[in-house]
Homo-oligomer: A and B are copies of this chain.
Amino acid sequence: MKDRNHLAGVSTTHQVHIIENGLIDIPMLQILQPDGSLHDEAVEPEIDRETATRIYDTMEYIRVLDERMIGAQRQGRISFYLASTGEEAASVASAAALSDKDMIMSQYREQGALAYRGYTTTQFMNQMFSNQEDPNKGRQMPIHYGDKPLNFMTISSPLGTQIPQASGYAYGQKMAGNEAITICYFGEGAASEGDFHAGLNMAAVLNCPVIFFCRNNGYAISTPADEQFAGDGIASRGIGYGVKTIRVDGNDPLAVYAATKQAREIALKENCPVLIEAMTYRLAAHSTSDDPTGYRSREEEDKWRAKDPIQRMAKWLTSKGWYDEEANKKLIEKSRQDVLAALKTSEKVDICPIEDIVTDVYDDVPWHLKEQLDALKSHIKKYPDAYPKTSGRVK
């Protein structure tokens, strides 16, 4: 046994010494003040105009997308949606700090990271309409995006499962000698799952180059953070795992960018995990199935609306002379039109043919699934009206 974790380096005391909450202060990195001006003591991260603009534009885009899709769900055009309003900086600015080779494993509220990577409006729509142009073949609910060319792992609903997976993915990257890391996003609620514990501990012990990025947005559906945990957020857990940890203002795109940039460098150079806790707030409802008025106040929301990351960044861009109000208006307008147009197109695209009900269960379709498919096809032919989405194409 090496003594690192057992006794060497442990000091002794002779009075009962209780380690308590509040013993250590985990400060939050903030570079831009809520009003958008640079903190006096802050160092502006190295960021060029192009990157800064792309972060900003992506945030604006996502806000438009979110608004429109909530609308589309209300109109009954899609069955479900989940917005990231107020949290755009956390996912967009962190994704901006990565290399395209880095794998993204997300929870479900990180559409900003996906858009930053280059996912198109049409791609978003195809997934949400579960049509045959969705590379995921329409097999999961709306918002469960996934795109191999963009190194964005297909989202899975069970919470926390991607956390130990990210450790394993990063381990594989390291062993393969790739100059790449994995980033794993999750909410402060998901961090209560056993998989969180396993994932962080394993990454620390097995030296995996992975960034664990927690969006602490104050709620898990209706459950407030103080009914989720009693410690100092998620960051304080990093200490217990021996994982380097940074807490950051999740509504400050520059802080998120700077922290993630540095985390990536550390992860890659030192082959180790880094935990980032981004303090933010879910301004949106949990999803279109949720109504937050049942569990929180308007005032609380308003307090956070004032910390809006998009406005904050706009002010900073302006101060840099990088902000063009006209162009921005046009961009928003164009995004709206793009979304509406893509929506109209995608909703008319067929779902996958019935054959795809049995593909991808295994690498090949085994005999029993062939049998089941054959039986199903004959059945559909007998009752075409009962299965209108596929019957027209059954031969």
Contact = CB atoms under 8 A, between A and B. Distances in A.
A27 interface: yes
Interface residues of A, number: 76
Contacts of A192: 197-198, 201
A264 to B, nearest CB: 12
Of listed A24, A27, A227, residue having the most chain B CB within 10 A: A27
B5 A29 contact: no
Interface string A232-260: 11011111111111110100000000110
A194 interface: yes
Contacts of A14: 29-31, 39-43
A231 B241 contact: yes
Given A6-B216, A12-B28, A13-B28, 6 more contacts: A5-B231, A6-B218, A6-B224, A10-B233, A19-B247, A229-B241
A201 B196 CA distance: 12
Given A198-B194, A237-B240, A204 B226 contact: no
Given A29-B15, A196-B197, A246-B18, A232 B5 contact: yes
A266 B21 CA distance: 15
A2 interface: yes
A105 B225 CA distance: 29
A20 interface: yes
Contact of A13 (B2, B6, B27, B227): B27
A156 interface: no
A197 to B, nearest CB: 4
Contacts of A226: 1-2, 4-6, 205
15 contacts: A1-B300, A5-B229, A6-B233, A12-B28, A13-B28, A14-B42, A17-B246, A18-B244, A19-B245, A19-B247, A192-B201, A205-B226, A230-B243, A232-B240, A236-B239
A325 interface: no
A275 to B, nearest CB: 9
Contacts of A16: 29, 246, 258-259, 262
A195 interface: yes
A361 interface: no
Contacts of A227: 205
A207 to B, nearest CB: 9
B296 A238 contact: no
Interface in A179-233: 192-198, 201, 204-205, 216, 218-219, 224-233
Contacts of A296: 1
Contacts of A198: 192, 194
Q: What are the 4 tightest A-B residue pairs by CB atom distance, in nearest-first order? A: A194-B194, A237-B240, A197-B197, A230-B242
B1 A27 contact: no
Contact of A43 (B6, B15, B42): B15
Contacts of A19: 24, 26, 235, 238-239, 244-247
A25 interface: yes
Given A12-B28, A29-B15, A229 B246 contact: no
Given A15-B41, A246-B16, A24 B27 contact: no
A269 to B, nearest CB: 13
B196 A5 contact: no
A195 to B, nearest CB: 7
